[in-house]
Amino acid sequence: MKEPVLALITGFVAGVAFAWLKLPVPAPPTLAGVMGVVGLFLGYLVVARLVNR
């Protein structure tokens, strides 16, 4: 649980820095884009678990 929290904090700090420096954020600019990344990750996890059975 520690790793996801640290990743969230790091991402938040990076987002603040990008906004402060008026740079484009290096992530999908919409919720649909973010959900696409989440779906990609979940699909990978499902296949990895099925293969390792």
pLDDT computed for residue 2 by the predictor: 92
| Residue 28 CA: distances (Å) to CA of 37, 47, 51 | 9, 24, 30
The predicted-structure confidence for 19-50, as pLDDT tens digits, reads as follows: 999 999 887 778 888 898 899 999 999 999 99
pLDDT computed for residue 16 by the predictor: 93
pTM over 0.85: no
Give every CB contact of residue 28 below 8 A, 6+ residues apart in sequence: 34, 36, 37
| Residue 52 CA: distances (Å) to CA of 16, 43, 46 | 39, 14, 10
DSSP 52: T
Structural domains of the chain, count:
1
The predicted-structure confidence for 6-27, as pLDDT tens digits, reads as follows: 988 998 999 899 999 999 988 7
pLDDT computed for residue 22 by the predictor: 94
Beta strands in 1-53 (DSSP E): none
> Which structural domain, as residue segments, surrounds residue 29?
2-51
